Structure 1
Amino acid sequence: MLRTLIVVSALFAVPALAQGAEEKAVLQAMVEWCAAAQKSDAAALERILLDDYTLTNSKGQISTKADDIAEAKKVDPQYELLENRDMKVRIHGNTAVVTGRTVVKGLSGGKAFSANFQFTDTLIKVQGKWRPLASHVSRVGD
């Protein structure tokens, strides 16, 4: 549950202050990634995530692209809310680092959950598209 819960991974609020085409492209990639996670869209996650993608969750556990796709196929958890906020983008060549907060709420295993996370995502520009390579999340006060 926590793997998908923190995939940072549904809908991202794109900051109005994002400047430049590359920052906007990175944020758009984040929106697509989040939408795929929220919908448990395994096929979209297959396209979006780099093959060597990893997520370090708030418990220090590491999952892979294959793990996240397998979890999406279970369609659990089901998100009522999965929203990233306060995103900041830094770009260095073909690497982008995005930091922000994620708020989630939904059902998993029939039980309600709600949590807040701080995240750092690293995306790489491959063949003109920004794709997630690594993600790290820390749970913050509920």
Structure 2
Amino acid sequence: MSAATETTTPEAAVRRWWDSMRAGDLAALEQLLLDDYISSGGPVARTLGRDEVLAQAREFVAAATIESHALSDFAVRRHGDVAVCAYAWSESGTHAGRPFALDGLATDVLVRDPREGLWRHQAHHTSMVAT
């Protein structure tokens, strides 16, 4: 299924982003991101622009396997063609041969494309929480 068919709600777009990362599906990830995408709080302190995040994702998926991920406790606030999604996340797997397990909170800002009615990612922020 294409990213477009799975992004008709803000929550679906967030879930598709995580599924694309787990699968290493960079083409789907590219469809989900706006050109001027901003990310902060991940492995790299701050990422500006879709091309930069795709380059980082390409490096990550080359060295990593995400064995599982989970999203929960969604709170979605829609303001017309903009939505803010806050949620809890966890993921585990291996990176460069070493196991990892991470938990955190995330906030994503999405913008709805009025022509297609699909949600695209404008910004992503994560905070780690102690487990």
Shorter-chain TM-score category?
A: 0.7 to 0.9
Q: TM-score, normalised by structure 1?
A: 0.77
Q: What residue is the counterpart of 2:127 in the other structure?
A: 138
Q: What residue is the counterpart of 1:41 in the other structure?
A: 25
Instruction: Give ranges in structure 2 of 5+ residues lacking alignment.
Output: 1-7
Q: What residue is the counterpart of 2:94 in the other structure?
A: 107
> After the TM superposition, which of the residue ranges 130-139 and 54-63 deviates more from structure 2?
54-63
Once residues 36 and 68 of structure 1 are traced to their aligned partners in structure 2, the CA distance between those partners, rounded to angstroms, is 13
Q: TM-score, normalised by structure 2?
A: 0.82
User: CA RMSD for the aligned pairs?
Assistant: 1.7
SS class of match (1:141): coil
Q: What residue is the counterpart of 1:79 in the other structure?
A: 66
**C-alpha contact 1:41 1:73 (8 A) present in aligned 2:** no
**1:3-22 alignment runs, 5 A limit:** none
Instruction: Give ranges in structure 1 of 5+ residues lacking alignment.
Output: 1-23
**C-alpha contact 2:84 2:110 (8 A) present in aligned 1:** yes
Letter in 2 for 1:129: L
Once residues 125 and 90 of structure 1 are traced to their aligned partners in structure 2, the CA distance between those partners, rounded to angstroms, is 13
Say which structure is richer in strand. 2
Query: In the alignment, does 2:109 pair up with 1:122?
Result: yes
Query: In the alignment, does 2:37 pair up with 1:53?
Result: yes
Letter in 2 for 1:41: D
Runs of 4 or more off by more than 2 Å in structure 1?
71-74
Q: What residue is the counterpart of 1:70 in the other structure?
A: 55
Aligned residues: 119
Q: What residue is the counterpart of 1:97 in the other structure?
A: 84
Residue identity (%): 30
**C-alpha contact 1:41 1:72 (8 A) present in aligned 2:** no
Once residues 107 and 77 of structure 1 are traced to their aligned partners in structure 2, the CA distance between those partners, rounded to angstroms, is 5
